[in-house]
Each structure stands twice: as structure tokens, then as C-alpha cells.
Amino acid sequence: MSPYLLPLCAPLLLLGAAAFGFMRKGRRPPLVPVCAEAAALGGLLVALASLAVLILRGPGASGLIGWAGIGLSVRLDAVSVTMLLLVTFIGWIVVRYARTYLDGEARQGYFIGWLCTALAAVLLLVQAGNVVQLVAAWVATSAALHRLLLFYPDRRAAQRAARKKRLFSSISAAALLTAIGLIWVSFGTTDIATINAQARTGEGSWLIVTAAAMLALAAILKSAQFPTHGWLTEVMEAPTPVSALLHAGVINAGGFLLIRFADLMVSAPGVLAVLAMLGGFTALFGALVMLTQPAVKTSLAWSTVAQMGFMTLQCGLALFPLALLHIVAHSLYKAHAFLASGGAVEQVASIRRPGPVAVPNGLAVVRAFLIALAIYAGIGAAFGFTFGFEHKSPQALALGTILIFGVAYLLAQGLADAAPHPLTRRTAIYASAAAIGYFALQTAAEWLTAGVLPATPAPGRLEWTLMALAVLSFGAAAVAQALFPLWASHPAAAGLRVHLSNGLYVNATIDRVLGGWSVPKAS
């Protein structure tokens, strides 16, 4: 047996645990939680063993278990192993958490069954070596998630979110099927590695460009990009383990799809430009709305919208190694944030404010941004990157500039007139650490995915325009956030806050366009 078939053991273990859970659906089903946790841990061990295979044997693919290009096969490379390790680790944590969280629920076994099914489907997706398996796993993931979102079927908000999610998932699946059909016509194969290899060496015909557009549409809908983001902020009625699995795992499927077909996407620069524009806008929109949300879980949901937008922006700029790194970092952070949200609320409620908060003036904000950019440039030069762009893509440098704007906001707090000196020193250290971390992690991601993901192409006039627009937009948003305390008492600010807290009514407009389809009927 080929060692590259080893990753298939992980979803098989979870499917076995799922079947056991479906046989014992009731309250506190004997041995079901233990078996599910053991299967999740076994999946993690399989992922670690797959990493060992990759290190010892190098990237490769298993043979097809099937006929005529239809069946199961495994693609083992830096992308798939990274996602295998991420999904199995988070899955194990979520299953352990659910064992206690759902203890005593009337349908505990049913929940565990669908939770394990969803994890198995995601694992089959990220290791897929052929497009047929990828599509089947894509659809199965959506179906299992739908069941989990309706774990409390009598909650009207849960029904509304699940129905809207099913609508967008169905359109996403149709777009993916269309893309796969065009890919098969263009390349005559279902093997993903062969498709990427041919896309890398061939020219982008109209069929390939159309396939890339359909892949982009499927990813946009799957990862809740504007204006189809509303369902993601409405799924808070589901149990917390579902929120953690969705926001830290399933929502990343759109970004993974773009990364998996990176060579094909690079051959369609116009499609990448649309992704960059839509992702950048979604990131800004989600971040601004997040700041106005009073509830912790709702704020985290809007944070996910913003982060998925930023990931899409990275893919649109052809920074696929950074997009993969972003998926890993966001997933780990968001899983912890959701699972620890209850304890965090209790801790914050018990904290007494030490006194008035330091508010930076305009001069402090300007100094903070100049210092942050100087730190970024100095550390970048220390890493050996030249600003003639000979060793580093302009897209990566522009993205780093956007990220450093977040550090500039912290620096502005430390440079305020009323800020204590220890705060100023800490913020300067944080700024330096953020810049070092960005360059170090970026270098590591590019090194690990070299030969697997395509190099970022040289930007043309359109790409330069998009980068300038993104840097200016995120910079303006960061400045506005830093200066917000100075004009927060203005009536216009209060009105803007109300509109932002309602997501600028985009989701309500989508509900109206759907004509009430997404609203459950009164029983």
C-alpha cells in the first residue's frame, strides 16, 4: 500500500465514531464521547505521521481508488499536511470541549455524530488528490454543518441562518461544479497536481479564465464575503463547539480552494484583481462593524468576516503562502477565542478601570505611524529585503505595510500625552516584535511552500493601483480609529455607530431581496 494513502485513516476513524454516535443518539450515550475523542486524537496522530511521510518521502500523490478519474486519492504536500495538522488539532480540541459542553443534552449522541462527520468531510477536502473527491467533500461539509447549525431546531434565528447558509452553499457548490467541468474540458484530467502543472506551463484560455472565475465565486460564497456575509453573523444560536468549528475551520474552505488551485488562479489576473478588491472591502467593512458590537460572540463573528476578507485580499494579490499562514494563525486564535469567550466575559466584568484612558492627539498619531513605518523598514532591511523589490514582491511589502498600521494604533496610545512611560516602551517593543514576526513567518511560509505554490508574479498597472488603494484605505481606517476618541461625542459619530452596529443594513437588504425566503414561517 502506498504510504501516501495514510491520511485517509483520519477521516475513516472519525466516520466510525460518527456512525457509533448516530446509533446512540440520546442523552449521555455510553462510550460515544470517549470514542469520538479517541477518533479525533487518532486523526491528529495520523496527521503527524503524514508529516513524517512528507519529510521522508517528499511531496507525492497516492494512486486513485476508483475508476475513470472518480474515487479517492490523496495529495500530500506542504499545503495538505499543514491543513491536516490544523484541522485535526482543532477538531480534537473541539471534540474534547463538546464532551463536557453537551453533557446531559437530550441529543448528545446525534450532535457528536454530525460533529465527527463534519470533521471527516473537511479532512477529505484538504487531502483531496482529485477534483471529484474535492467536490464531494465540499458538499458533505456543508450538509454536516447545516445539521449542526440546526441542533436547536426550534430557535427561529438558527432556522433563518441555516436556510440562508444553505442557499449560498448551494450556489457555491453549483459554481464549483461548473468550474470543475470547465477544468476537465480544458485539461482532460481530474488529478489536481496534473491540472496545476498544466496551468503553470500553459496559457490562460477563456475556458481557464472562466473556470478561475467560478472557483473564485465558490470561494467568495463559502468564506462569507460581502455582501453574502450575513449568515455568518447569525449562527450564534448554535452550540459554542459549532461556532468554534465553523469560524476556525469550515469557513477557511474558500481560501483553501484558491490556494489549492493557485497555479490556475495566477493565469487569470483579472479574477485575482476582483478578489483583491472584494476581499479588501470586506476586511475593512467587517473590522469597522466589529468595533461596534456589544456581544462577545457577535463581535468575534464580525472579526471572522474581516479576517476572511483579508485572506481573500492576500489570494487576490497572489500571496498564496501568506494566505495559508493566515488560515493557520486565524484558526488557532479564533478557536481559542470562541471556546474561552465565556470565561473572558467573567474576567472582564470583574476588572476595575484604573482611571482615564490616554487619548492621543493628531500629532501623536502622525508620530506613531511614522515610527511604525520606520520600524518596519528597518527590520525589513535587517532581514535582507531590498526596497528595489529585487528579493521581495511589492505585494508582500504592501501587505506588511497594512499590517503595521495596526501596530501604529497601539503606538499612538503609548505616545499620548497622558500615557505612562512604561506603556510607551511596551508599545515600541510590540511594534518591533510584530514587524519581526511578519518577516520571519513570511519567510518560513514561502520556504515551506516553495515548489508547491507559485511565486507571486510581478505587478502590472492594475496591481499597483490596487495595492496603493489598499494601503491608503487601511491607513485611513487606522488613523480614524486612533483619532476616534477625539470626536466620539459628536452627534454624527453616534449616528455612524448606530449604522455600523447594524452592518449598514446590508443583511436586512439581502433578506428583503430574498423575499422572506430565509425567514422561517411561524409555527
SS3 293: coil
pLDDT top residue among 495 and 214: 214
* CA end-to-end distance (rounded Å), the chain: 55
Q: Each residue of 68-119: pLDDT tens digit?
A: 788 899 999 999 999 999 999 999 999 999 888 888 788 888 899 999 999 9
Do the Cβ atoms of 83 and 141 come closer than 8 Å? no
Q: What is the mean pLDDT of the chain?
A: 85
Query: Residue with C-alpha cell 491608503?
Result: 472
Q: What is the mean pLDDT of the segment spanning 453-470?
A: 90
Task: pLDDT band for 347, please (50, 70, 90 cuts).
Answer: low
Helix (H) or strand (E) holding 245: helix 240-248
Residue 226: what residue type?
A: F
Task: pLDDT band for 439, please (50, 70, 90 cuts).
Answer: confident
Report d(CA 135, CA 33) in Å as an integer. 30
Please provide the DSSP assignment of 169-180 as one string. HHHHHHHHHHHH
pLDDT top residue among 246 and 14: 14
Choose among 165, 267, 250, 167: nearest CA to 216: 267
Burial 271-307 (b: 16+ CB within 10 A, else e): bbbbbbbbbbbbbbbbbbbbebbeebbbbbbbbbbbb
Peptide bond into 227 cis (omega under 30): yes
Report d(CA 139, CA 160) in Å as an integer. 20
Residue 388 pLDDT more than 50? no
The reported pLDDT for the residue numbered 386 is 46
Q: Hey, which of 171-175, 363-367, 391-395, 470-474 has the most confident mean pLDDT?
A: 171-175
Where residue 301 falls (left for φ over 0; alpha for ψ -120 to 50; beta otherwise) is alpha
- Tell me what percent of the residues of the chain surpass a pLDDT of 90: 44
How many C-alpha atoms does 342 have within 13 Å on its Cβ side?
7
Report d(CA 427, CA 372) in Å as an integer. 10
Report d(CA 290, CA 255) in Å as an integer. 21
Task: pLDDT band for 212, please (50, 70, 90 cuts).
Answer: very high
Report d(CA 77, CA 4) in Å as an integer. 10
Pairing status of strand 70-72 against strand 65-67: antiparallel
Choose among 172, 181, 180: nearest CA to 220: 172
Residue 521 pLDDT more than 90? no
Strand partners, 60: 76
Q: Each residue of 27-61: pLDDT tens digit?
A: 788 888 899 999 999 999 999 999 999 999 999 98
Q: What is the mean pLDDT of the segment spanning 289-302?
A: 86
Alpha carbon distances (Å) from 493 to 3, 5, 303, 406: 60, 58, 21, 21
Residue 134 pLDDT more than 50? yes
Alpha carbon distances (Å) from 449 to 272, 325, 358, 445: 20, 10, 43, 6
Report d(CA 511, CA 161) in Å as an integer. 11
Report d(CA 429, CA 257) in Å as an integer. 37
Task: pLDDT band for 407, please (50, 70, 90 cuts).
Answer: confident
Residue 487 pLDDT more than 90? no
The reported pLDDT for the residue numbered 144 is 93
Contacts of 370 (CB under 8 A, 6+ apart): none
Q: What is the mean pLDDT of the segment spanning 244-249?
A: 84
